[in-house]
Amino acid sequence: MDGKVWIQTDGTEDGVTDELMQAGIAKEDIVLGFHEPEIRKYTGFSVA
């Protein structure tokens, strides 16, 4: 594995990305898989 945390969908009220970052996971290690790869580069999170 590449050590990244992939989020495929986020239906939570507060947002699972915020919870992951509060738990100490860096933005660079989180991939927002529900966004197309071309959009991911603008999110501040990992592209893949």
Q: Residue 45: inside a domain, yes or no?
A: no
Structural domains of the chain, count: 1
- Look up the pTM and report it: 0.84
pLDDT value of residue 12: 86
Whether 31 is in a domain gets the answer yes
| C-beta of residue 8 within 8 angstroms of C-beta of residue 34 | yes
Full domain range(s) for residue 30: 5-40
pLDDT tens-place string over residues 12-30: 888 899 999 999 999 999 9
Evaluate whether residue 48 is within a structural domain: no
Question: Does 19 fall in a domain?
Answer: yes
Give CA separation, 47 vs 16, 24, 25, in Å. 17, 19, 15
Q: Do 32 and 40 touch, CB atoms closer than 8 A? A: yes
